Structure 1
């Protein structure tokens, strides 16, 4: 009683909650929701519809909502006498979701969506219709209190029928349509005369209008085969005829008789209304509407959309074609011609349509087939055996809310192809001439290949293997760096350079700029400190310190040797060659082959000139000191020979005392 007192109040107050997998989200978390439900998806009522209800709900939460979670939105009213009971708006399951600004939006459907699957029956036919119904409920894991007419049967097994189509045949045999109730149970809603359960006045609606004259059904017509052949019961014009499909009624005409007995005399007034709403009303309920001019019309809730966002707003309607549309068979628009002429599964110049596959286009040789439907999207099939087996080679489907294109064979694209992601497969690009190609393959990785002629096998030129890049042939142009910045080696612009972490040249670098081909520099903090200078014209190279830097050759504890002539300073040769040499340079050193001192040799050192105190230049003094140093080195070498000789003799005497 509290609900009846509150529902028509001008200041009614709603409270909302959503139960998601048995967890309750309250008014602070449920932002808004909309429930859409209908008995018909077209502009005429019919029998045997199986249309899932939809829910869109926004919830402010950080909780993880599982995939395919069950959501039950509920409303209740509050007033002077306290709260009413919660009114469930149906049971729905999450189909997709979006997240924005801390709010999740869930798009959901009820369990009738699961009827869109092939009906694989284990029963033996013909079989009682009740057994088929029970088998379907078990497959779908749905409960139902519907009682099936015990006299009805399914006469044969249809291997191609879906669960949805089988339920449609069962429901239409009972003069009804299929829905899910608020508790998640499957129910039948018959189209039969009934009394209104609610009266809606001008104070309840924002806009209400009658859209067509009253519709009364006195004739029932069933299309029972692919050729469009029909059976009918009752009499009346096209406007008074209720049409539907049922493939079994040609055999089981008692079902047609029963359905006619249920709907005969059913009438309603087509309308469209936006109003404050009644959350307790269901599609199929009969209602009375008092129009602005006080006219009363009786109709049904055939299409219903209830939205909650703090308050409730409802849009309800019952559609119909006008009598002129029903009777005047004008051959006008393409859509009307199709509606008047197309028959299920009939082939029109290679094109057919049917409930199992949608729209199909097939060539006469049964080599190629195209199919389009809401479940599988767009698919192209090829057959190599006159249509006995088909393979999908091209199709577009929707996965996770995104369209996806699949290619099962070769494809040629012209113009620009854009993509954000490629997953799997192989991409191969062959350059004009057929001598170069580029491959991206999920197993072989990235490869650039070449060959000398179109008849030769392909050879790898650049490829990735075990995380490393491999190259063969010639690499021309560009920049090669061991690091993007900082300490690195860089090859570019005909140069090789090394850098330190401060982005300064450090160590080895070539100098091939201008006419300096062949020079090598050594840098210290961007400053050249040593050069290997190419003298050109067969004159060898020069080793040159630079920018005030020193040059040291050799290391303590290690021998440093020179071979051949050290030009302009140390001459190397035999004693005879030295005696014959006439182009000596003043102060030049000579290394005489075989000139070894022995024990007992007398070593004579000639004194440098000008030791008598005559004036010497700084350069001459330097030369004399160099000569003295050289002679000291010779003396040291001779003394080392003597020491080595004495050491060996002493060791031998310790072994042989007779020496």
Structure 2
């Protein structure tokens, strides 16, 4: 029940009460001069009986005389007050500090009747009719959670309210130990709010001030408002008093998997659908509702705008007769002397309408005992049941294929030799319990344990291998290879480009290509052919072989002797001579005969020293001949 002042409460009970109305439409105030009438419908159930865990938007239908249109989804807040024009000092039996009535008369405080948003409109003549719903209608959007699961129901509730911009008060009491095991995919935000409320023994509604609240149901709850026989026009009891002692919660509607607690027949059983509840939650719910009862009724009453759906009300009903009409025994007769009997019920559905005066229609429906025991299926129910029989269900295998909210699609052999799990985050293919193909979409990683064969494959991007062995033909137009590239019998065609190729990376294989371009090639052996006439470059130097595989020319460095140069071998492979360099000298050495020949002139520049016997042409001893010539010159002088 919405809190009101003592003055407002007293004036509501007066039969000469006069209502004042206004509405704030998109920030603009409209009075009774523009408001024709309105009705507000509140519900905690949409079925023929009591429900728990609902989140039903309230509905406003208002008619206005407007000179201009209002925008789409405009907010409308209707208000009610009571005129105090006739209030006298004798009637003002209220605390002085609580009185805010002007001296010349006025009204009580303005009571808000809820915050609503325009959904549809219609104009007849110059009167606009607007159909509006409260903010719960904005929760009919898919719930995509960013939480890590399992998560507490409180965390899920806060995430939804934060996303939708909802505020809630202290009536929202969620058990801190209640959790949701997996992300609630496939549900709307409003459904999840209702499921969380149902697990905590409540339903969800939006208060007259626009705040989200819980209506928590408990056994033996006291009435918050009492109606006298003069406060209502008609009260009709539609069924015997409804009492609940047993709770059955269906957590899997397709396979009809349930938890239950308590004892009782179908007429005393509360049936709930909630995929997030556990057996412990059901036990707690049954303990909370055990003995919960209400009187099913339908009532037309005077308008009491401060009543909220879910309020427990008491009402008096005259049930008397004459002594001659009494057929019960004295000890079994419980009729009071004044004939007034008190009852108690709950507002599961109410409609507050204003057309000059204020009228309230109250309902507390229930399913009769016969309906509970003998349920007849209509055409729609038959279609739904047939759909349940034919539809694909979570967790049920269909020729080896199952699907669930936690794993997605699963394909498994009957003997469990192989199993494939597929969802938007993971693809996991297992054989004998070990993953042979695993894709982690979030990490963008694909792992394969086995042999990769390709007849004609094109790889783009970066191919990395730490310890990979490739067989067959590996072709690449342009690629960057990092890690270890090994090939036992691999043939490379086209151009293989590399910044740096280390001999340690390819020591156990070979690379065959028509052309190789690169910056640096480092290795223990480079040769132009496997055998025969060829040139080889290894760690000892540069060697030229003839067609008989004999070493003919060797270029290298003798680090121990501090020299480097060429060595020449003859056709038999024997040593013939060498050209080498040492500090400040270049040596040409022939093992036998040294032959210098030029088809032109042979020029020798620089100081030339001949050591030992040197023969030039016909002169066998050039040094002796020069000495004789020199002596002849001296004799002439």
Q: TM-score, normalised by structure 2?
A: 0.52
Q: Distance in 2 between matches of 1:346 and 1:42?
A: 21
Instruction: State the partner residue of 1:482.
Output: none
Instruction: State the partner residue of 1:230.
Output: 258
Q: Give a deviation string over 1:209-258, Cα, whole Å, max 9, x none.
A: 11111011111110010211211111111111111111122xx3332233
Question: Are 1:245 and 2:273 an aligned pair?
Answer: yes
Decide whether the 8 Å contact of 2:260 with 2:279 is kept in 1.
Answer: no
Instruction: State the partner residue of 1:334.
Output: 378
Instruction: State the partner residue of 1:220.
Output: 247
**What does residue range 138-177 of structure 1 map to in structure 2 within 5 Å?**
138-145=162-169, 146-177=172-203
Q: Distance in 2 between matches of 1:115 and 1:5?
A: 38
Q: Please give the root-mean-square deviation of Cα atoms over the aligned residues, in Å.
A: 2.7
**What does residue range 419-434 of structure 1 map to in structure 2 within 5 Å?**
none
Question: Are 1:322 and 2:346 an aligned pair?
Answer: no
**What does residue range 19-38 of structure 1 map to in structure 2 within 5 Å?**
19-38=24-43
Relative to structure 1, the CA distance from residue 83 to residue 163 in structure 2 (aligned partners, 3 Å threshold; closer, same or farther) is same
Decide whether the 8 Å contact of 1:214 with 1:268 is kept in 2.
Answer: yes
Decide whether the 8 Å contact of 1:129 with 1:154 is kept in 2.
Answer: yes
Instruction: State the partner residue of 2:284.
Output: 258
Quote how far apart the aligned CAs of 1:336 are: 9.2
Quote how far apart the aligned CAs of 1:262 are: 2.5
**What does residue range 553-592 of structure 1 map to in structure 2 within 5 Å?**
none
Q: Distance in 2 between matches of 1:9 and 1:338?
A: 52
Q: Distance in 2 between matches of 1:237 and 1:142?
A: 40
Question: Are 1:109 and 2:146 an aligned pair?
Answer: no
Q: Distance in 1 between matches of 2:79 and 2:151?
A: 41
- Out of 137, 146, 152, which is 1:122 matched to? 146
**What does residue range 158-307 of structure 1 map to in structure 2 within 5 Å?**
158-193=184-219, 194-225=221-252, 226-249=254-277, 252-293=278-319, 294-307=340-353
Count of aligned residue pairs for this structure pair: 352
User: Which structure has the higher relative contact order (CA within 8 Å, separation 6+)?
Assistant: 2
Q: Give a deviation string over 1:392-412, Cα, whole Å, max 9, x none.
A: xxxxxxxxxxxxxxxxxxxxx
Quote how far apart the aligned CAs of 1:335 are: 5.1
Q: Distance in 2 between matches of 1:288 and 1:278?
A: 14
**What does residue range 219-618 of structure 1 map to in structure 2 within 5 Å?**
219-225=246-252, 226-249=254-277, 252-293=278-319, 294-327=340-373, 329=374, 332-334=376-378, 338=382, 342=385, 346-348=388-390
Q: Distance in 1 between matches of 2:287 and 2:122?
A: 48
Q: TM-score, normalised by structure 1?
A: 0.51
Instruction: State the partner residue of 1:573.
Output: none
Q: Secondary structure at the match of 2:388?
A: coil
Q: Give a deviation string over 1:374-424, Cα, whole Å, max 9, x none.
A: xxxxxxxxxxxxxx9xxxxxxxxxxxxxxxxxxxxxxxxxxxxxxxxxxxx
Q: Distance in 2 between matches of 1:114 and 1:158?
A: 18
Instruction: State the partner residue of 1:369.
Output: none
Decide whether the 8 Å contact of 2:203 with 2:214 is kept in 1.
Answer: yes
Q: Distance in 2 between matches of 1:276 and 1:287?
A: 14
Quote how far apart the aligned CAs of 1:104 are: 1.3
Instruction: State the partner residue of 2:552.
Output: none
**What does residue range 67-106 of structure 1 map to in structure 2 within 5 Å?**
67-79=72-84, 80-81=86-87, 82-106=106-130
Q: Distance in 2 between matches of 1:160 and 1:4?
A: 46
Q: Distance in 2 between matches of 1:136 and 1:258?
A: 25
Q: Give a deviation string over 1:9-49, Cα, whole Å, max 9, x none.
A: 11111010001122211111111100001100011111111
| Unmatched segments (≥5 aa) in structure 1 | 355-363, 365-387, 389-659
Quote how far apart the aligned CAs of 1:190 are: 1.4
Q: Distance in 1 between matches of 2:271 and 2:372?
A: 12
Decide whether the 8 Å contact of 2:251 with 2:258 is kept in 1.
Answer: yes
**What does residue range 627-646 of structure 1 map to in structure 2 within 5 Å?**
none
Q: Distance in 2 between matches of 1:256 and 1:76?
A: 44
Q: Distance in 2 between matches of 1:135 and 1:245?
A: 23
Quote how far apart the aligned CAs of 1:133 are: 0.6
Q: Secondary structure at the match of 2:389?
A: coil
Instruction: State the partner residue of 1:462.
Output: none
Decide whether the 8 Å contact of 1:67 with 1:94 is kept in 2.
Answer: yes
Decide whether the 8 Å contact of 1:271 with 1:318 is kept in 2.
Answer: yes
| Unmatched segments (≥5 aa) in structure 2 | 1-5, 88-105, 320-339, 400-422, 424-637
